[in-house]
Amino acid sequence: MNKSVAVIDYSVDGLSGELISSWLRVPSVVIKVIEGEQFPSISPDDHIAFIHSGSSHSIVKDSPFMNGAVDFIRLAVDSGVPQMGICYGHQLLARATIGLDAVARCSDVELGWKEVEFLPQWPVSGLNGKKTVWQSHFDCVVKIPEGSVVTATNNHTGIQAFFNRDMNLFGTQFHPEFDRKKGNECFAKDAGLFKEKSIDLDAVLASAPDFHTGQVVFNHFLKTFGLE
């Protein structure tokens, strides 16, 4: 039986996994991490790759599932199974492979459609230069595992993406799963945060990503590790 890509959904509302899965052009399943419960009982050998979703949880605080998630990521690295992390998941990859000092609170939130510079080190050709992507985070990665390269950056968060061939890791601080419609729907639900941070929500909703982030970035993850 052919194995699938597993999307591990850490989102509190339980919606991120399905949104990520919808972009994948290979068989996939969603495994939900339930609020207040331990990490699901899964093995790295069960799937061909894992995608760790974003979350409203803070990476600098422990959750009931944290130890299990860290142990799982380390096992998957040892097994050579590719892993992608998005925002919280990206931070989780760094925390699991380095430790708590690999992550930190940002000086302030990065929120809205924000510009990121994709560097020549991005592992698949065709994505380079400054592009607008969906951002919503208070935490960030400040250290990446030895042998990693930073593949995207901006002035707010220096490590917007990284890649490690030896450990089969692919992380993005930004959220590639959001197109303009889904992204703006999510922003509109968070109107209170925009007001609290004095960010013009109407101006944000008038903006948009300037490339098909879900289609491109997830395809590049699959291409990088030969998963198509």
The question of whether 177 is a catalytic residue gets the answer yes
Whether 220 is catalytic is no
Per the rule left: phi > 0, alpha: psi between -120 and 50, beta: everything else, 99 is left
CA distance 84 to 218: 9
Written as six digits, the tokens of 72 are 């799982």
Catalytic residue among 47, 87, 140, 156: 87
> Are the beta carbons of 88 and 44 closer than 8 angstroms?
no
Q: Mark whether 37 is an active-site residue.
A: no
Distances (CA, A) of 226 to 3, 117, 124: 14, 25, 12
Tell me how crowded residue 188 is: count the other CB atoms within 10 A of its CB: 12
Candidate list 47, 52, 175, 220, residue with the active-site label: 175
Cα–Cα dist 161/117, whole Å: 10
Q: Which of 57, 110, 156, 177 is catalytic?
A: 177
Q: How far is CA 201 from CA 56, 90, 147, 155, 207, in A?
A: 20, 26, 39, 21, 10
Kindly list the catalytic residues: 87, 175, 177
